Chains A and B, each alone.
Chain A
């Protein structure tokens, strides 16, 4: 079989890991093709509509596994289109974690200090801003008041949202119709296209094979635009460099499926998956009590009843992000909004004698939905997830036309993880039930297992070949020229929302990819400014980039490094 099409760099997936790398490589002069399994929607394509087939179901995947379910983006822009744009940096201790391997799991080259300049680059590009209390939703304000009442601090979360454009509609998971959310559709991806990158939606990569020239042949199927279960065609593209950025729920399945042609994968491919230690609780606010305790009211006279109003997480409490505490006892708490249809079924009634997630008592809980306040805990789990044999195509056995699939992951939480969840549940209960403010129950794990909106670590970075799939430059061990830059590269749970860390790592990975491309004869330079032309981030990362390029001493801050 001969392949008719060639490119310098083939990027699989268009979320943070794919968009950041595609932009820089295209800006450096490489021919870049991005294959994205989901549709390409933007602006007014993003519906305020729950109907199956609207953007609410087109742009993400909900994959149910054995003991763990994953929510991921499935569209051009990937997770950035469906995410809630909370963009905190990971705390210092998160990079020092040992997890289950008994020694530091991150590569020696990556610490919070070394990553900070790369964080800065992303913050400049999107941009990420610090909110004031006047920006935060009623739910965030009430959570802040509850934290203070319980003796805790609380912070408005740094966000990638233009609050002057935001209408607080809370439809972010269906894509932001008002372009308030700084998704990749507004920065890295258009900049990549402007530099010649080609983005092909509804192209689902199935496997890779190695060519005689040391490059790779990428096999893909094209997918029906309405019914994602239907394959409409297939093809191949040859590339000198492949960047895998399909997400932590899909990247390992592509590599597993490729093992027959590429040869053995590192042991860590499809292992050490982390759900970011995530845990959700629903507090049902006693409206009268909230008014008495905090003297809060809305202009219409109601106290709260504002679950629907806002834009995802607005306020977080970081008192338990104490690096002096032992591992598995540190967590952050964050007020979160979850739209109907995806989370309500998992909220529980406090009834230990019968059904807690369905039935007449649950319906009574649903009647009080406007008074719900969801608290999201991000704890330190134990990287317990393991992917089984890959499905025939894609990352799951698709059930419905869109959205719902059955995955191959199995997840059995260890005592460490369970203890972290229990500790965070207890603290949420202490905060939210103090003086009768609300009643709180965690979401059940009995229906779809544990639940993560931030899948991580299924092909993780590290210095130890036995426990990491990637070296510290994101290159897949034993398969030179294949790089992984999505959440699967993050070694473990971060105790905060991971999008900014994934993006910063992708920025940091680019010089190494450029170096590998040059070694394969691709004439590409490194040193593009921020997508909007800003240069502060480039200047700050110039020396680090030069090291990663293998050109120490030749960096020219503010200008392109010669190719």
Chain B
């Protein structure tokens, strides 16, 4: 790593983006995108706003991201040493790892016997939430911005008043016989 080229903010942002991209990977935003590994098509957690969500004071992690990025890069450096990886020292260690190594390290950090797992699991959950709920945005605004995650999971759009209603909702018919020991109220007898 070359600190003279990377501000702490850049290291933090790029490292945490790489973390989020490990959880829900996406396609690179540009050919020189280092954070996004580019192992999946379509927008992933990063394009969905993971950094915005993690930086939102409501998440509880906004003030800890710098420290967490440093810790993650420390783990990545040790992982690289253990596995004989030669990393590009011009970039943060976790960002320098190929996707498979990022994923392997993620499994280690979130393993049930890892004492640090709570923090990494929470960050993983938030990364996933950025993708599948756009939790940093009002959902109506997320739809207006063509949020990648909501689009990819196929979350249906609301009515014009911003509320969801599904008039058609049932096949009807009688798909199964009811249990013979059902009480008149419909409970197990």
Contacts and interface: CB of A to CB of B under 8 A. Distances in A.
Interface in B126-153: 128-129, 131-140, 142, 152-153
Given A168-B165, A340-B132, A360-B40, A496 B24 contact: no
A298 interface: yes
A148 B166 contact: no
Interface string B79-115: 0000000000000000000000001001100111000
Interface stretch (B8-16, B28-36, B65-73, B167-175): B167-175
B188 A363 contact: no
A53 interface: yes
B164 A147 contact: no
Contact of B153 (A157, A229, A317, A367): A367
Contact of A155 (B112, B171, B182): B182
B121 A448 contact: yes
Given A51-B135, A341-B132, A128 B25 contact: no
Contacts of A404: 60, 122, 125
A357 to B, nearest CB: 8
Contact of A359 (B42, B103, B154, B163): B103
Contact of A50 (B60, B124, B133, B152): B133
B83 to A, nearest CB: 15
A399 B188 contact: no
B118 A406 contact: yes
A134 B170 CA distance: 6
A358 B37 CA distance: 14
B143 to A, nearest CB: 11
Contact of B140 (A49, A317, A321, A354): A49
Nearest to A147: B176
A426 interface: no
A140 B176 CA distance: 11
A167 interface: yes
A423 interface: no
Contacts of A400: 58-61
A354 B103 contact: yes
Interface stretch (A96-104, A169-177, A523-531, A533-541): A169-177
A133 B128 contact: no
B164 A158 contact: no
B180 interface: yes
Nearest to B153: A369
A50 B142 CA distance: 10
Size category, B interface: 35 or more
Main secondary structure of the interface of A (DSSP, over half): loop
A370 B106 CA distance: 28
B165 A167 contact: yes
A74 to B, nearest CB: 15
Contacts of B182: 155, 318
A198 B46 CA distance: 47
Contacts of B124: 345, 358, 447
Given A48-B163, A309-B169, A341 B186 contact: no
Nearest to A448: B121
Contacts of B155: 308, 340, 369
A311 to B, nearest CB: 9
Nearest to A365: B153
A130 B186 contact: yes
Contact of B185 (A142, A158, A317, A448): A158
A64 interface: yes
A153 interface: yes
Given A123-B185, A169-B166, A294 B175 contact: yes
B168 A446 contact: no
B128 to A, nearest CB: 4
A169 B152 CA distance: 20
B179 interface: yes
Contacts of A310: 166, 169
Contacts of A362: 24
Interface string A142-155: 10110110001111
Contacts of B128: 341, 344-345, 358
A52 interface: yes
B77 interface: no
A81 B107 CA distance: 36
Given A49-B139, A167-B164, A153 B177 contact: yes
Contacts of B180: 153
Contact of B179 (A135, A137, A153): A153
A144 B175 contact: yes
Interface string A359-403: 110110011011000000000000000000000000000111110
Contacts of B39: 359-360
Contacts of A64: 118, 121-122
A28 B62 CA distance: 50
B74 interface: no
A50 B139 contact: yes
Contacts of A136: 170
A462 interface: no
A91 interface: yes
Given A154-B176, A344-B132, 17 more contacts: A88-B187, A89-B187, A89-B188, A130-B186, A138-B169, A153-B177, A154-B178, A169-B166, A308-B156, A319-B179, A340-B129, A340-B153, A358-B106, A359-B25, A399-B122, A406-B118, A446-B112
12 contacts: A51-B134, A92-B188, A144-B175, A145-B175, A169-B165, A227-B58, A308-B155, A310-B166, A319-B179, A358-B106, A402-B58, A446-B110
